[in-house]
Structure 1
């Protein structure tokens, strides 16, 4: 299990390489949901998502020989962008393996940052390709199955604990589970009374299926939220969620897209479905928790184009 000492060490390591993103009360979301809401605006992070934290923490932990050999990552979008940008800044050669379902803009951003991008037909094939490149000598920077990466993502929770007012419940999106594992570990240490809830979209529900099965299992991926679409969680992230998270809520893609529109209108931020899914889940948390709820939302990323969101809205008949 990741402890607060590892998270604090990661915070010290990545200071100056990433942004301490704003943690702000949101009057618009508070009015929409009917309870006080504080938003951790991680979509304002370098590369547009929290992933820069874990990527920086891992790259800065490598030996000179490992950095000279280069690194490889698998990504549905945000992890690849983050690794490409941070590797370029640290003068490390990076290869990013992405499924063809990854957003075209994510592929472009990784390439523009100097990474070599390899496209595969599926996420499973992407992981297999990355494993092969690791065996050939590259260092794998896993998006979530790495204690150093999880500790880096946990700095989101560290900052939230330090900067937010009184909270009762914090909602965090789950792909492979690296972010929620780190955030939950930080809050468990610093805000032990706060409940942490995970959120997934239908067709990207690897953690909820793992919890039902008693451990990580492969899942079929079909959600439009490619940044949440891990084919399985890891034992590392499963253990953290099983021990530290109240529950994992699953919402339809349509509701996640509506959440994007609501975040734009009421919070004045442009988020991707991986963050939009927090709003429908927040309503369910309010119903279940009862009493005086004070929500924290980790708005994890904003790497969706206007065309992406408008296309999804039209597809689901949303206005």
Structure 2
């Protein structure tokens, strides 16, 4: 388990390399949900998501030999973008393994940043290939199974704790669990009385299934939300979430897409379903804890095109 000192060290390491993103009250979301809502706008990172924090923390910690070997990562989209863009800045050769289901825009951004892209038929195949490439000598920058990456993502929680007003509940999206693990470490140290809720989508519920089983287990992936689609969480992220997070909620893909539309209309931000899923979960939290709730939402990323969202909205009959 990492501690608050690890997150603070990561914050010092990546300062100047990432954006200290705004933490702002949202009048629109507050009106929509009926309680005060504060949004942490991680979608305003230069890579479009929080993932640049962990990628930067890892890259800046590599030895000369590890840098020379080149780095490799597996990604449903945002981690690959973050690694490709960060590696380019630091003159490190990067390879990103992605499933063909990853958003076409994300694949294009990774390629345009100069990384080599390897496509696989599915996310399970992507994780298998990245393991083989690591064994062949490339330096793995894992999207969540790495203490340095988790500490980097935890800097989101440090900024939220410093910048937000009084909060009772914080909601964080969960894929492999790196973000929620790091944020939970920071908030438990800085705001120990805040309840922390993870949010997954149906068909990408690796953490929920792990918590039910008492350990990480492989899951069948069927969610449209590729950026949350980890075939299993790691023991490292499981240990953090089971110890530090109050509960993990699971919402349908349709509700996550509806959340994207609501965030655009009411919060004036363009997000992806990995962030959109926070809104239906927030409604459930308010129902559970009552009108005294003061919510913090970690708006994790915005790397979805208008075409993506229009297609999903049409498929789900959302107009």
TM bucket normalised to smaller: over 0.9
Q: Per-residue deviation at 1:289?
A: 1.3
Q: Which residue of 1 aligns with 2:13?
A: 13
* Alpha-carbon displacement from aligned partner over 1:178-220 (angstroms, at most 9, x marks no partner): 0000000000000000000000000000000000000100000
Whether the 8 Å contact between 2:53 and 2:155 is mirrored in structure 1 is yes
Q: Per-residue deviation at 1:249?
A: 0.5
Q: Per-residue deviation at 1:136?
A: 1.0
- In the aligned structure 2, how far is the partner of 1:239 from the partner of 1:246? 13
Q: Which residue of 2 aligns with 1:297?
A: 297
| 1:1-319 mapped onto 2 (5 Å cutoff) | 1-319=1-319
- In the aligned structure 1, how far is the partner of 2:254 from the partner of 2:125? 27
Whether the 8 Å contact between 2:18 and 2:53 is mirrored in structure 1 is yes
* Alpha-carbon displacement from aligned partner over 1:89-136 (angstroms, at most 9, x marks no partner): 010000000011100000000000000000001111111111111111
- In the aligned structure 2, how far is the partner of 1:193 from the partner of 1:65? 43
Q: Which runs of 4+ in 1 moved over 3 A?
A: none
Q: Secondary structure of the residue that 1:150 maps to in structure 2?
A: helix
- Note the residue ranges of structure 1 that are not aligned, 5 or more in a row: none
Q: Per-residue deviation at 1:291?
A: 4.6
Whether the 8 Å contact between 2:34 and 2:291 is mirrored in structure 1 is no
- In the aligned structure 1, how far is the partner of 2:216 from the partner of 2:81? 26
- In the aligned structure 2, how far is the partner of 1:128 from the partner of 1:317? 36
CA RMSD of aligned residues (A): 0.5
Q: Secondary structure of the residue that 1:249 maps to in structure 2?
A: strand
Count of residue pairs brought into register by the alignment = 319
Q: Secondary structure of the residue that 1:197 maps to in structure 2?
A: strand
Whether the 8 Å contact between 2:167 and 2:295 is mirrored in structure 1 is yes
Q: Secondary structure of the residue that 1:35 maps to in structure 2?
A: coil
Q: Secondary structure of the residue that 2:47 maps to in structure 1?
A: helix
- Taking structure 1 as the reference length, the TM-score comes to 0.99
* Alpha-carbon displacement from aligned partner over 1:253-294 (angstroms, at most 9, x marks no partner): 000000000000000000000000000000000111125100
Q: Secondary structure of the residue that 2:92 maps to in structure 1?
A: coil
Q: Secondary structure of the residue that 1:279 maps to in structure 2?
A: helix
- In the aligned structure 2, how far is the partner of 1:69 from the partner of 1:242? 35
- Note the residue ranges of structure 2 that are not aligned, 5 or more in a row: none
Q: Per-residue deviation at 1:307?
A: 0.3
Whether the 8 Å contact between 2:35 and 2:291 is mirrored in structure 1 is no
Whether the 8 Å contact between 2:98 and 2:119 is mirrored in structure 1 is yes
